[in-house]
Amino acid sequence: MIYIVPIEPIDQRYTLQWYSNIPKMLEARGLESHTIAGEEIDQGTTTGAFLDFGATNAYKASQVQRISKLFTAGAIKPGDKFLVTDAWKFAITAIRYMSDLLNIPVEIHGIWHAGAYDPTDILGMKMSKPWPWHQETAWFHACDYNYFATNFHANMFVKNLDINPSYKSKVIVSGQPHEIMVQTLKHFSGRQKN
């Protein structure tokens, strides 16, 4: 089973499309998935930001609670996978904690968008260092696979967080998951031009 731990589906961002498109992409490949949604609090966004910095933590905390209940109920099985669609998420800590201590080996796949490791990102500009760098490094190591949109992004992450090159196998440059576009192109490719 693949458990999708999504970023909040916000209308102004691509995250709303990801919320429905990622499960569709997995299903199209014959993969079973379950989305672990969070409790949404419609507060808009923090001034000058891309989300609400308070509400996002409430959303993430409710996801952690739901994930914890799945582990406790025995629903999570060895070999299950967690796709965390924004790796700047403390759910990664909770998943690895329960996996290790309950002896239920799972894989964690994290998609990195931005963070304190990027000096041009709001987290990189506003967060007091060094604690967020240590946190990002810990989440990187807790994940079995870390996905980045570009080589530039992956290289910046590894360089700025001083990730040992021996961990390069955990870094995957995947682009963004736009396979839904490929399906649409296939569908319309047979149409006649006007």
How many structural domains compose the chain?
1
Q: Which of 145, 151, 140, 141 is nearest to 169 (CA)?
A: 145
* Domain assignment of residue 170, yes or no: yes
* Domain assignment of residue 62, yes or no: yes
CATH number at residue 104: 3.40.50.2000
* Domain assignment of residue 63, yes or no: yes
Range from 16-30, 60-74, 100-114 carrying the lowest mean pLDDT: 16-30
The residue segments making up the domain with residue 138 are: 2-188
Average pLDDT value for residue range 169-193:
67
What CA–CA distance (Å, rounded) separates 59 from 61?
6
The partner residues of 110 in beta bridges, in order of sequence, read 84, 146
DSSP 81-144: EEEESSSS-THHHHHHHHHHHTT---EEEEE----TTSTTSHHHHHSPSSHHHHHHHHHHHH-S
* Domain assignment of residue 39, yes or no: yes
* Domain assignment of residue 194, yes or no: no
Among 34-48, 98-112, 113-127, 167-181, the range with the most confident prediction by mean pLDDT is 98-112
The partner residues of 34 in beta bridges, in order of sequence, read 3
CB 90 within 8 A of CB 120: no
The tokens for 119 are 């000096």
What pLDDT score was predicted for residue 20? 80
Q: Which of 40, 190, 31, 49 is nearest to 114 (CA)?
A: 49
* Domain assignment of residue 193, yes or no: no
What pLDDT score was predicted for residue 25? 86
* Domain assignment of residue 180, yes or no: yes
Range from 2-6, 61-65, 171-175, 189-193 carrying the lowest mean pLDDT: 189-193
Cis? peptide before 130, omega within 30° of 0: yes
* Domain assignment of residue 131, yes or no: yes
